[in-house]
Amino acid sequence: MRLNSLKTSLNALPPRLSAAQPIEANRVRGSAGVKRRAGFLANRPLCSECDKEGKTRIATIADHKTPLWAGGADDLSVNGNPLCYTHHDAKTACEAAMRAAGGWMATACTCGQHRGK
């Protein structure tokens, strides 16, 4: 008895990322990256977004103002932003929605951290 192969009824999925959105961004990794981020946070220990809200909270993440996948520089002195976990999580979710919608600022900012861009 011979088995026939079944034809798929699924359509091909479109790619999620356009050619303009690099999948892998160049960044400093490993112990050099850890030391660089620690030095950045030592010099800027408070969350910049909490400060704008009149609060004082320790920054725990050296974030990039413009994400690397959107063409932002990996240089923290130019593109760095010290954030607490709460603000970082909100910014990450907002940027994920933008990326899923087609790219940087493809949808309106929902976290309030992408002012004037």
Q: What is the mean pLDDT of residues 66-92?
A: 92
What is the tens place of the pLDDT at every residue in 17-60? 555 555 556 778 889 889 999 999 999 999 999 999 999 999 99
Query: Tokens 């960044």 map to which residue?
Result: 27
Tally of domains in the chain: 1
Q: Please give the residue range of the domain that contains residue 57.
A: 30-100
* 114 lies in some domain: no
* 60 lies in some domain: yes
Q: What residues contact 49, with CB distance under 8 A and at least 6 apart? A: 83, 84, 87, 113
What integer pLDDT is reported at residue 72 of this predicted model? Answer: 87
What integer pLDDT is reported at residue 14 of this predicted model? Answer: 58
Global pTM value: 0.73
* 4 lies in some domain: no
Structure tokens at 37: 């981020």
* 11 lies in some domain: no
Q: What residues contact 38, with CB distance under 8 A and at least 6 apart? A: none
What integer pLDDT is reported at residue 117 of this predicted model? Answer: 47
